[in-house]
Amino acid sequence: MKLSANLGLLWSELPLLERVYKAKEKNFDAVEFQFPYEVDANELKKAIDKINLPIIGINTIKGNVSKGDNGLNAVPSKVQEARAAIDQAIEYAKVIGSKNIHFMCGITEQNHNSLKTLVENLQYAVSQLNDTNIGLVIEPKNQKDFPGYFLTNVEQAKEICQLVGNNNVKIMFDFYHVQISQGNVLTRFKDNFNFIGHVQMASVPERNEPIFGELNYSNILSEIYKFGYQGYVGAEYNPLTNTDDGLSWMKEINREDQ
């Protein structure tokens, strides 16, 4: 079991560079970011080199949040902005050595034009990543937390991967979102296994530490690794009190899994 600290939510009260060192101190196996762009990429790379942990991913930017943006890549009216955000993410990912870029789809109509826009933006990104080992991941999000978000379910994400037609485009399978939107998480994971590039987790329904709620992550993580998953599992949750006080879940899941 390999655990990645999502530093967009964990230790969010600290400056980003301090969060990087916290992840190492607390024995995570990797780190991932949401929107690290307020920190110069070269400065972040220095911290990453010191902790010597893999960087699993960063997100493309949300866009203009004050106007309701939550990603740009499936929004037909924002192709120019989306391409600039893709370029930004690629350059940043290259500097820090990120393994993936999470392609934020955005809030837009469920229609052919939005689908075409997303596929073409993914194809553009693929063309810009030909000389790298950086992958692209797309994440289905639940409509309770992200109303209007274009990508809503795992099967839709699989179809998009197939339409792009490149093995570097995969699904980010967040058990939290999939459970709320669709349920049947382990069967759905196995049915779409060949298209899954990264896994994330949080408790359902409150999105806290993964020892609460209706999903048994000791069982789930054991099952996905038995099935053949070899990647990292991103801890992307809102700490119930503070991050340090809630980290006992790491030992509990590992102990129960043995």
Asked about 236 being catalytic, the answer comes back as: yes
Q: What integer pLDDT is reported at residue 74 of this predicted model?
A: 98
Q: What integer pLDDT is reported at residue 171 of this predicted model?
A: 98
In contact, 140 and 181? CB cutoff 8 Å: yes
Containing structural domain, residue 252: 3-257
In contact, 216 and 251? CB cutoff 8 Å: no
pLDDT in tens, 57-111: 999 999 999 999 999 999 999 999 999 999 999 999 999 999 999 999 999 999 9
pLDDT in tens, 196-217: 999 999 999 999 999 999 999 9
Q: Which of 32, 81, 120, 139 is catalytic?
A: 139
Count of domains observed in the chain: 1
Task: Show the low-confidence residues of the chain (pLDDT under 50).
Answer: 256-258
Q: What integer pLDDT is reported at residue 139 of this predicted model?
A: 98
User: Per-residue DSSP letters for 44-96?
Assistant: HHHHHHHHT--B--EEPP---GGGT-SBSTT-GGGHHHHHHHHHHHHHHHHHH
Q: Which of 13, 223, 236, 252 is catalytic?
A: 236
The domain that contains 27 carries what CATH number? 3.20.20.150
Q: What integer pLDDT is reported at residue 257 of this predicted model?
A: 41
Asked about 81 being catalytic, the answer comes back as: no
Record the pTM. 0.96
